[in-house]
Amino acid sequence: MKFASSLLATCAALCVSASMPALAETGKLLLTGGVSSIDGAAGGGLTPWAVIGSNATEGETGGSAFVTTAGTRDYGLNIMGAAIGIHDRYEISVAQQDFNTRATGAALGVPGLHLKQNILGLKVRVAGDAILDSDSLMPQIAVGLQYKTLGSTGLDGTLRALGARRDGVDLYASATKLFLGQSLLVNGTLRATKANQNGLLGYGATLGGGSNNSYSLQPEFSVAYLLSKNLVIGAEYRFMRNKLETAGRAAGLGNGLRSEDWKDIFVAWAPNKNLSVTLAYVDLGVIVPATTASRKQKGYYLSAQVAF
């Protein structure tokens, strides 16, 4: 936790440095660098894209920082993070998530339970250029990894009983296609992960069978339409791993640990090249339905990003 906090502070400081005239002069078109995802990587709110965060173009170094809050009927989530974009090819990102379990924590015997997760990400553009290739069918392609660590809480004993770890690595590949003439962006991401509920309920599970502890391939999709030069609407769909339900059944919890796919409808607004605000309606399916009467977790998502 201390390492991630220090890294976040360092990254934020570099973002400030990147705003100086000696570095990036913000060459990208508005919103073509994406916004900050919940895991810190540049893209949509729920999923990374192949774009590199910040406004820096080739030969430049830039940075971004963001804060996000989201709330559903039974849960709350606050996130902060930062990223560095180098030569529009490399991206280093950090994020800290604070998930408020509210009544679920009390039902599990841990009142006031907050699940805190730190994420360190690395992304590399390996082919294509979203802007330069906008008049062809060639997408921009990037590969990335996210190392995630879940802080110790009163839930540790439950995770151990399920055979779930408190750290894991996600690997992903993204392809982003920008059709400038049609004001349309399309993205597809394929993620290899062991994360349960994006890591907030640990990684993998040995209880109930070895397959629960293996990597799963989960697709993620985004589409965005540019209404004007600084206003975008869009939607995302992220398939979620559901291996923890099997472990839960083996523990006598029935379908109480089932997870479902995440999706949203969003609006992103950039009043200038350095600031963007994203507002979304999110549907995260069920999260620990054993304690929430299987209610769908629908609600809001609000994020602000500064980029240089």
CA angle 137, 227, 69 (to 5 degrees): 100
Structure confidence at residue 13 (pLDDT)? 43
Q: Give me the residues paired with residue 195 across strands.
A: 203
Sequence-ordered alpha helix ranges (H) in the chain: 2-18, 103-107, 156-162, 244-250
Residue-range domains of the chain with CATH: 2-307 (2.40.160.40)
Structure confidence at residue 209 (pLDDT)? 83
What tokens were used for 228?
Answer: 């004007």
Q: Return d(Cα 64, Cα 148) in angstroms, integer.
A: 20
Q: pLDDT for 59-69, tens place per residue?
A: 999 999 999 99
| Nearest Cα residue to 220 out of 200, 245, 250, 195 | 195
Q: Dihedral of CA 191/242/1/302: which sign?
A: positive
Structure confidence at residue 34 (pLDDT)? 84
Residue range 240-264: mean pLDDT, rounded: 95
Burial of 252 (0-12, 13-18, 19+ CB in 10 A): exposed
Q: pLDDT for 185-197, tens place per residue?
A: 999 999 999 999 9
Residue range 82-89: mean pLDDT, rounded: 96
Q: Return d(Cα 269, Cα 241) in angstroms, integer.
A: 31
Q: How confident is the model at residue 27 (pLDDT cuts 50, 70, 90)?
A: low
Residue range 134-145: mean pLDDT, rounded: 94
Query: Which residues have CB under 8 Å from 79's CB, separation 6+?
Result: 38, 66, 67, 68, 69, 70, 95, 96, 97, 98, 303
CA distances from 214 to 74, 195, 244 (A): 29, 10, 11
Query: Which residues have CB under 8 Å from 59's CB, separation 6+?
Result: 87
**Does residue 220 have a pLDDT over 50?**
yes
Residue range 83-109: mean pLDDT, rounded: 94
Q: How confident is the model at residue 8 (pLDDT cuts 50, 70, 90)?
A: low
Structure confidence at residue 202 (pLDDT)? 96
| Nearest Cα residue to 8 out of 122, 94, 121 | 94
